[in-house]
Structure 1
Amino acid sequence: MTAFVAEVPLRWTDQDAYRHVNHARIVTLVEEARVALAFTAAGREGLAGFSSGLLVAGLHVEYKRQLPWRPEPLRCAITVRELRAASFVLDYALHDGPGAGDPVAVTAWTRMALYDLEADRVRRLTVDERDFLERHLGDVS
């Protein structure tokens, strides 16, 4: 099992008065990495269920170091844990640069729930969705 890796670009407006990435903008960067996994990568495999109903049920962020703004994208590694019938947890390691060897500046997790918008209720993962997520089970790096 391997982590899913997304490169997330920084925008000029992501920085604060100290030229660091603002703490609240980190959540947006993590979201962009999640979209790359659940919408883009899954969509390329014909899995549209995530993009039609996936909710954040919980969020936790830990800031390990200041993240200076730069024009190069950041590396965000995502792994899956607690894969259940209708939910799962995504763990994120946001690196201080684009490389695998760059230090981790932020760790985070989101508890995700599958949701059927038409029925207005939580739904179970399909077999194909579970298979897709199982490829990324493990420790974030």
Structure 2
Amino acid sequence: MDTSQVIGIPLRWNDVDAYRHVSHMALVAILDDGRGRWLDSVVGSLVPDWGYVVARLELDFRAPASLGERVLCGSFAVEHVGSSSIRLHERLTTNSGTVVVEAVSVIVAWDQDQAVGRPLTGEEKAALTREIAPAHGP
């Protein structure tokens, strides 16, 4: 997975569960924060407040993270650009490179005024297609 643009996402004390690990629900929120920031960097200059909804989210928890990590590193790579949706490969790692969670998400461009999915514009498709990563291993 290309990690040319890594997003650092700070951990908060309330992200930790009774086992002193970052909880699985906090990891979903951390991915969401990183995904939004990454998308802003890719298409935010084309459309301010670029709207999207998550249509699918697959998660594989690989290793625990603790509050002592302070920051998790999020990397996001486009796997496929459709007419209105994008499939992303997402990963959170510790600063030392330990993979905490890997995810695949499908997001749909969203028309906030109409509250419906919308087609991607040609500019959006071009910007997202430039972010397609080479195939990654298992």
Q: Does 1:104 align with 2:69?
A: no
TM-score by length of 2: 0.85
| Structure 2 segments unaligned to the other structure (5+ residues) | none
**SS state of the match for residue 70, structure 1?**
helix
**SS state of the match for residue 67, structure 2?**
coil
Indicate if the aligned counterparts of 1:52 and 1:117 stay in contact, CA closer than 8 A: no
| Structure 1 segments unaligned to the other structure (5+ residues) | none
1:78 alignment partner, one of 76, 79, 82: 76
User: Structure 1, residues 50-97: CA drift from partner, whole Å, max 9, x if none?
Assistant: x342111111111011112225311111001121011011111110x2
Alignment-derived partner of residue 54 in structure 1:
52
Alignment-derived partner of residue 122 in structure 2:
127
Alignment-derived partner of residue 12 in structure 2:
11
**SS state of the match for residue 124, structure 1?**
coil
What is the alpha-carbon root mean square deviation over aligned residues? Answer: 2.2
Indicate if the aligned counterparts of 2:63 and 2:98 stay in contact, CA closer than 8 A: no
Q: Per-residue deviation at 1:107?
A: 0.4
TM-score by length of 1: 0.84
Q: Per-residue deviation at 1:120?
A: 3.7
Q: How many percent identity over aligned positions?
A: 27
Indicate if the aligned counterparts of 1:57 and 1:113 stay in contact, CA closer than 8 A: yes
Indicate if the aligned counterparts of 1:2 and 1:136 stay in contact, CA closer than 8 A: no
